[in-house]
Amino acid sequence: MTQLSLAYIFQHQKLLVDENLQLPQVEKLASDLPIHHDDQVIARDLLDDEPIPEGYQLVPIRELIQSWDTSDFLQASRAVQLLEWRRNHKFCSHCGHMTEVHSREYAMVCPACGYHQYPRVQPCIITVITKGADEILLAKSAHNKSNMYGLIAGFVEVGETLEEAVQRETLEEVGLKLKNIRYMSSQPWPFPSNLMIAFHAEYESGDIELQVEEISDAQFFKFNELPEIPFKGSIAHSMITQIIGQKKAS
Ligand SMILES: [Zn+2]
């Protein structure tokens, strides 16, 4: 009897699912990438010229975050990131030779010089900033045409602590100094392979001064007068609702 595996099949950042957003079952191929080494779930690329199977559709993973529960979304996020990593490491970045897939680990190994390339995540901080008992800083991205106001976020630089990154990004983007920076939670965010690390900080000093290339507007909003905020399922949404809930309860 043929054994079928549950499959995450992607074309770029879109996942193949049926009309009920369920994954297909497929016969395993040698080129499939196991999502965990101890289970049968696999990930696979659907090439641009391959047909979409009858009854299936390609759905952007950004949309699945709103329909699936978190653990299902994280599994899909892991699958797409592993495929992307394998696709981008076909050659050794040290000597340029073609690499081979390691049999047990997630590593692309160079047979010529022995260099191992592992999947990487990009640490990215995101900060909810409050002022007093009932105000929150929200900022509108200069790259986003919508009216949505989000949180201050950015990549951690080489040689920097997470707290320093929070302080630096806030100073750069809105010109404010912070105090009491505290860790909240984290979430993998596969666009393309970020780890979002969430902090709460309090306003310390300074006047809002925008970095116009990045931010088109930023203001302290009263909790009961919020503008449009990021969608449910995003870490920004849960951070904003959690902080407001805590402050109202205290
Ligand atoms: Zn090499």
- Strand 56-60 to 14-18 pairing: antiparallel
Give the residues across from 153 on adjacent strands.
126
Can you give the pLDDT at residue 7?
A: 95
**Residues whose CB is less than 8 angstroms from the CB of residue 201 and which lie 6 or more positions away in sequence, other chains included:** 127, 128, 129, 130, 166, 170, 178, 179, 180, 181, 182
What pLDDT digit, counting tens, does each position of 217-235 carry?
999 999 999 999 998 888 9
What pLDDT digit, counting tens, does each position of 54-69 carry?
999 999 988 888 888 8
Mean of the per-residue pLDDT values of the chain: 93
Can you give the pLDDT at residue 232?
A: 83
Distance 108 CA to ligand 1 centre (A): 10
Distance 117 CA to ligand 1 centre (A): 10
Find the mean pLDDT for residues 169-188: 96
- Enter the tokens of residue 233: 């399922």
Distance 100 CA to ligand 1 centre (A): 11
CA distances from 176 to 134, 147, 173, 219 (A): 18, 22, 8, 11
Can you give the pLDDT at residue 54?
A: 93
